[in-house]
Amino acid sequence: MALLGLAVLLTSASGLPQSQEDHYSPIKNLRIEPVERRLTWDLHGNVSEIMCFINSKFITKAVNQNRYCQFHVLPSCEVKNFSISLTKGPPFLTGIQYPLQEGNPQAAAWGLDCQVHDVDVLTCSWEVGREAPRDIQYHLYWQELRTRREYECPNYEMDPRGKLVRCHFNDVSRLPKHLQILVRGTSQGARIPCSDRTVELSEIEILNPPN
């Protein structure tokens, strides 16, 4: 799991050459702080308001005197574009990608889907990556959002090729109501990106029909 974002300049609307742009930029050293779940930066000068986006979708405004944006959860697997812009003053937009992508994304598990059923069982299933190596194997974990501590699923099911493609947890009532699900792949000859989704258990519950 990457702990630092890969800094990539996405856009700058100032129209200045790069050297001048850096000199006049009110925001520098844009970075992700994974443990705190923040997008933060070094602020130079006064700015009125900073807005934060993920994949061009507005998420939140900066807090603590425009020092950072706080997120409830950060992606663990899928690379996303984090960007910030100013609401007033000269046009300014810059961003980074996070997390750092490792390996072929087409080898990662796909179609990750989870459901709570039979009152207290959480079952997740996924498909083998389209370009996964022949020796690929997957394992499922749930992650605490606050501590990022991971716990592996204990009850797997295999497909006819011997690949783990399904797993279930019992006693779901003991789990946090909001958590992150991850599928990690392993192979002797290749790095395999993980797959993840954030779930609210009450929203994925299938209720039993009344008797």
Tens of pLDDT, residues 53-102 = 999 999 999 999 999 999 998 999 999 999 999 988 778 889 999 999 88
Q: How many CB atoms lie within 10 A of CB 90?
A: 11
Residues 16-21, mean pLDDT to the nearest whole number: 36
> Please, are residues 129 and 107 in contact by the beta-carbon 8 Å criterion?
yes
pLDDT at 4 (0 to 100): 36
- The model scores a pTM over 0.85: no
At residue 9, the pLDDT reads 39
Cα 154 to chain center, whole Å?
23
pLDDT tens profile 125-159? 999 999 999 999 999 999 988 888 899 999 999 99
Closest CA to 195 of 99, 122, 123: 99
Residues ≥6 apart with Cβ < 8 Å to 202? 177
Beta-strand ranges (E) seen in the chain are: 27-33, 38-43, 50-54, 57-61, 68-70, 80-86, 93-98, 110-117, 121-127, 137-143, 150-152, 155-158, 164-170, 178-186, 195-200
69 SS3 class: strand
Q: Percent of the chain having pLDDT more than 90?
A: 73
More confident of the two residues 2 and 130? 130
Domains in the chain (CATH in brackets) are 18-98 (2.60.40.3850), 105-203 (2.60.40.10)
